[in-house]
Structure 1
Amino acid sequence: MRIDVLGVGFDNVTMAEAVERGMSLLHSEGAHYVVTPNPEIVETCRENAAAMAAVNGADLVLPDGIGVIKGAAMLGTPLKEKTPGIEFAAHIVERMAGEGLSLYLLGAKPGVAEQAAENLKKKHPGLVIAGTHDGYFKEDSPVVEDIRQSGADCVFVCLGAPKQEFWMAKNGPATGAHLLCGLGGSLDVFAGTVERAPKFWCDHGLEWFYRLCKEPKRIGRMMKLPLFLVHVKQEKRKK
């Protein structure tokens, strides 16, 4: 059963359980996709019914960020723990490398996916990189066909929300991949072009503040967090 937070249904799983679920989907017939909403994406879903449908239509919905965890607790329906997309992806890559499975990286600026692929291969020699493509494309068909031809088992789709959720819902089956994961800016982290917050900040739910200090231009996006908490309080009063 999923935990409802402002209309978005989150799977109530630990990181270990999420990874097991992801690997199970990866070995299942057909195409499956994973989304990792944070408060900003939840707010987008509240304003956009199509985005809400794409997010809730995922096979696995993971809470990315402390804001969603706090929101669920405030509503009296606590989630087990936060499951950041970048950490979920890292665990999936490690498991895939152990099984010799193949990964396609889609998204980010030109050159970033290639660098991410190189770094991941160095860290996980057993991983097969099926292919890469940047996120600057106008037509889906050539990209979908490239993924299909590559024979990728899994695709990391890093196009930003809600574009990546729409893309996976629409194109997942045509790619031939069994698992697609919407992971926002994760390729930049894997490529080393963006530094993830140190462990202390992550452990204390302050990763958002660390990124804001590093990238002040994100202030507009970060304002969605207090708005999210306001909406959670309103929902709590209704209940």
Structure 2
Amino acid sequence: MSTPADSGHQSQITRSQLRDELGKHLDRVEETGEILYVTHHRMQCGAIVSTRDAETVELLRAPAVSPPGDVEAAAVLIESAFDQNESAATDGFLRVRRSSTIGNFVGGLATLMKELYAPIQPQNMGGRFEGTGEDGRVSISPMTLADIVLVDVAEGNGSPPPEVIPLIAGALWALQSGIDPVTWRNALGIPLVPGEPEAWVLATSRMAFVVRDFCVEDVVDLLSEAGERFGNMPPTG
């Protein structure tokens, strides 16, 4: 859709000028980073932007998180936390990201969250769950699973930047409300922010530990089965 040209506030060239000196104008926007609007009959009909700006537009248009994501890679990483310690998950993230796009990998972590929450969801207690303690007594958790995980992520070692916490909190609370965390995250309409992928790793690994301690002893098997089940599924986003 064409819009009226406003020569007082924007850099503009006519379509004929662009045709005559295309190389010059391409070099100009790449060097300066400005947006160069193209006009035809005094109306804007297009624009030339730098490569960096074009990549930013593509990032904003694309889903931040791809469902179901690389569940297999995410499962292997979370399982590593059980073999060593919880910090191994964050350390292993640097290795996994080389073979999986960030959005695809975070999608895998979000899918694992759903799988881990599955044993709790049928209890229908608003995120609280019934579990057996070390003494063999059955009790109901005083906090919801989302709150337990969120506190540990926010206050534990290697906690993410403060601005990332609301994103993880929203995903966890969406999950407890029966909303797919991938759908919720993409509905925000913003790309992944620095520190967010690592926060997803921490949240998913912590959820796995809580579920193991209270509900599902063989949580590693649950992770492995999820990785195998989703392993051959392509991203849908």
Which protein is richer in strand relative to its size? 1
The TM tier, using the shorter chain, reads under 0.3
What is the TM-score normalised by the length of structure 1? 0.27
